[in-house]
């Protein structure tokens, strides 16, 4: 299919920010009134799981947070399409099943975005082969970005038995259950937009847990967010409580006399997720029923999230202490990359010009005559930096904004807009508030300092008239460039301080520089010995992909893809827990 190669989403493009914000608000407001999960259940009354238990061994690929920039998305799709990967001298075959673990497209789930950022790259990497009787199956759960249109396009792509390249979609709902060999199960849930799990979904999994789980069944749980990590960031976050409720009441059957006794011996052997765009593995420190691996593998194509903000120990499933075993990138590399926020003006030119134009507009409002036909700009241009006192400038500023409510409004809009941007849900909250207040004040100080500076230069030193076209043009250029650059630098300094020192703003500080590297996915086998998980990672992705096919049937060639295991394979032994 023909598609456009898209760059990484520029999250600090004001137009993109506004569009995504509107989508988020609309989906949050109307999501509960148009919950398509209930419609799915109404149209698909049969509680059906997908049965792979007849196989002696099954290979599964798990990837999450894909469908962003072309380079990383195509690179990962090309690796997934290969018949086998060589990992430390051992050939590891392609997954019989591919699971996409949430956020299949960015920034919003319009059909054109799915086509350009997901379907196009995946189809080009692994074209459909007519008559292929061994096509891998594809399942997906939605993330928050897939939910922004109420799942309309997600359901069209993943629940209508369509193809995504040579992968064949199979599911009928936005959640599913797979029965694997040797009494293993994959349970993949849809948590919507941080909402409760819907009643039809609970009924679906309850019936499977009651009728089809055996004593000692082993569960691999897939969800679209690492709620255990979010709980460690913010004690008020309820997403992990909802996950625990699902495990206890639905899978274990607590309070359900029909199957509680039978299911008390089942084991959650792994929880797989994305949403944070890195690799992080937590493991239960001490457990009588085997260690539960809690793995975030959100490196499918979107910008990289930091890892140095993760806590070494957190509370896991059933309140068990879990320890952070491995991260990718390393915490040291994560800190180093975070300093790229100091280059915020370079990575976010549109934000730079937004700040500059905002300052120009505020200055324009302030130029109305306030006393004896003299404007604020003319008054402050007379202040000598070596003689004037700070109180004089404050007095003139106060006079200016007291005569111009619109200017006061713009000042407050800038200040409170910056302050409300503050991340107060993670890290040391008191310090976060203080940093946000200082950040907002610095932007106001920057504006009035530049207003005085350029007034002094243009009107006093250059002797230009305030209404001269040359002066107006010069002032606009000065304020857009200097004002925009300094404001963007302040913003970058704030993000750097926040993510490195305060360890918050992890998404805002990493989406700014849109790092394409440090991508990952999981490949694991299920056989009679147990589960072996191979975490595959790439530090860099090629950026020189060239179309060697046609526009209608593109096929890309580029640099060599350097991939390796992030850590030694994780083996979960198959043993019945008594």
Kindly indicate the confidence band of residue 577, based on its pLDDT and cuts at 50, 70 and 90.
very low
Q: Is the model's pLDDT at 35 over the cut of 50?
A: yes
What would the DSSP string read from start to end of 360-405?
Answer: HHHHHHHTS--BTTB-HHHHHHT--TTT--HHHHHHHHHHHHHT-H
Three-class DSSP category at 160: coil
Largest CA distance in the chain: 91
The CATH number fitting domain 14-329+518-573, selected from 2.40.50.100, 3.10.129.10, 3.60.21.10, 2.160.20.10: 3.60.21.10
Q: Alpha carbon 400 to chain centroid distance?
A: 43
pLDDT above 70: residue 21: no
Closest CA to 432 of 483, 512, 508: 508
Distance of CA 568 to the CA centre of its chain: 26
β-partners of residue 342 are none
Q: Give the model's pLDDT for residue 40.
A: 59
State if pTM tops 0.85: yes
Nearest Cα to 125, choosing from 64, 66, 170, 76? Answer: 76
Read off the pLDDT of each residue in 136-161 and give the average, rounded to a whole number. Answer: 91
Q: What is the separation, in whole angstroms, between the first and last Cα of the chain? A: 53
The two three-digit tokens of residue 466, written as one number: 């305030």
Annotated domain spans of the chain = 14-329+518-573, 342-509
C-beta separation of 538 from 518 below 8 A: yes
Give the least confident one: 147-151, 324-328, 349-353, 475-479.
147-151
Q: Which residues pair with 546 in a beta bridge?
A: 557
Q: What is the pLDDT of residue 80?
A: 96
DSSP strand E in 55-206: where? 58-63, 84-87, 90-93, 97-100, 137-140, 163-164, 167-169, 176-180, 184-188
C-alpha distances in Å from residue 486, one per residue of 123, 417, 491: 44, 17, 9
Of 493, 396, 519, the residue nearest 438 (C-alpha): 493
Scanning the structure block, which residue is given the tokens 């929880």? Answer: 271
pLDDT in tens, 114-142: 999 999 999 999 998 887 778 999 999 99
- Residue 308 — very low, low, confident or very high, per pLDDT cuts 50/70/90? very high
Q: Please count the residues of the chain.
A: 578
- Name the band, by pLDDT with cuts 50, 70 and 90, for residue 65: very high
Please write the tens of the pLDDT for every residue from 252-285. 888 777 888 888 888 899 999 999 999 999 998 7
Residue 306 CA: distances (Å) to CA of 62, 510, 511, 546? 21, 7, 10, 30
pLDDT of 513-559, one tens digit each? 999 999 999 999 999 999 999 999 999 999 999 999 898 899 999 88
Q: How confident is the model at residue 347 (pLDDT cuts 50, 70, 90)?
A: very high
Report, as an integer, the average pLDDT of 43-59.
84
Give the three-state DSSP class for 446. helix
Share of the chain above pLDDT 70, in %: 90
Residue 496: pLDDT over 80: yes
What is the rounded average pLDDT of the residues 19-33? 59
Q: What pLDDT band is residue 578 in, cutting at 50, 70 and 90? A: very low
């Amino acid at each position: 299919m023909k598609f456009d190669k898209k760059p990484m989403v520029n999250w600090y493009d004001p137009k993109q920010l506004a569009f995504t914000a509107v989508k988020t608000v609309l989906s949050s407001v109307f999501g509960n009134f148009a919950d398509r999960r209930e419609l799915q259940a109404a149209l698909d009354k049969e509680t059906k799981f997908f049965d792979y238990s007849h196989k002696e061994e099954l290979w599964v690929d798990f990837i999450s947070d894909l469908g962003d920039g072309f380079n990383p998305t195509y690179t990962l799709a090309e690796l997934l399409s290969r018949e086998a990967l060589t990992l430390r001298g051992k050939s590891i075959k392609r997954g019989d099943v591919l699971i996409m673990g949430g956020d299949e497209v960015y920034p919003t789930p319009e059909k054109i975005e799915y086509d350009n950022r997901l379907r196009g790259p995946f189809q080009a990497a692994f074209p459909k082969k007519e008559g292929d009787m061994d096509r891998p199956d594809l399942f997906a759960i939605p993330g928050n970005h897939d939910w922004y249109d109420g799942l309309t396009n997600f359901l069209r792509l993943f629940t209508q038995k369509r193809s995504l390249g040579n992968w064949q979609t199979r599911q009928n709902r936005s959640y599913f259950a797979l029965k694997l060999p040797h009494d293993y199960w994959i349970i993949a849930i849809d948590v919507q937009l941080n909402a409760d799990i819907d009643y039809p979904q609970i009924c679906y999994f309850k019936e499977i847990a009651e009728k089809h789980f055996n004593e000692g069944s082993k569960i691999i749980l897939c969800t679209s967010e690492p709620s255990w990590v979010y709980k460690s960031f913010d004690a008020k976050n309820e997403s992990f409580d909802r996950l625990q409720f699902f495990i206890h009441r639905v899978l274990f059957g607590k309070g359900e006399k029909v199957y509680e006794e039978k299911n008390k011996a089942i084991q959650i052997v792994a929880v797989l997720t994305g949403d944070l765009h890195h690799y992080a593995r937590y493991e239960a420190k001490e457990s009588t029923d085997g260690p539960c691996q809690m793995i975030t593998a959100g490196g499918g194509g979107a910008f990289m999230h930091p890892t140095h903000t993760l806590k070494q120990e957190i509370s896991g499933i059933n309140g068990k202490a879990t320890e952070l075993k491995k991260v990718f990138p390393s915490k040291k590399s994560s800190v180093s990359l975070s300093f790229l926020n100091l280059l915020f003006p370079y990575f976010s030119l549109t934000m730079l010009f937004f700040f500059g134009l905002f300052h120009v507009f505020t200055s324009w409002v302030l130029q109305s005559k306030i006393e004896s036909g003299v404007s604020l700009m003319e008054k402050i241009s007379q202040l000598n930096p070596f003689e004037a006192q700070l109180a004089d400038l404050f007095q003139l500023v106060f006079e200016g904004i007291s005569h111009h409510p619109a200017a006061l409004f713009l000042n407050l809009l800038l200040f409170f807009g910056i302050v409300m941007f503050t991340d107060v849900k993670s890290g040391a909250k008191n310090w976060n508030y203080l940093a946000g207040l200082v950040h907002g004040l610095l932007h106001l100080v920057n504006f009035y300092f530049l207003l005085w500076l350029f007034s002094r230069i243009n009107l006093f030193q250059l002797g230009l008239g305030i209404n001269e076209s040359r002066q107006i043009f010069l002032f606009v250029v000065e304020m857009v460039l200097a004002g925009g650059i300094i404001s963007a630098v302040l913003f970058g300094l704030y993000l750097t301080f926040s993510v490195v020192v305060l360890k918050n703003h992890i998404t805002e500080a990493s989406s700014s520089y849109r790092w394409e590297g440090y991508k990952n996915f999981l490949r694991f086998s299920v056989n009679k010995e147990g589960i072996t998980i191979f975490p595959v990672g790439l530090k860099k992705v090629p950026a020189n992909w060239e179309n060697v096919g046609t526009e209608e049937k593109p096929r890309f060639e580029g640099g060599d893809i350097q991939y390796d295991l992030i850590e030694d394979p994780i083996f979960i032994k198959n043993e019945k827990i008594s």
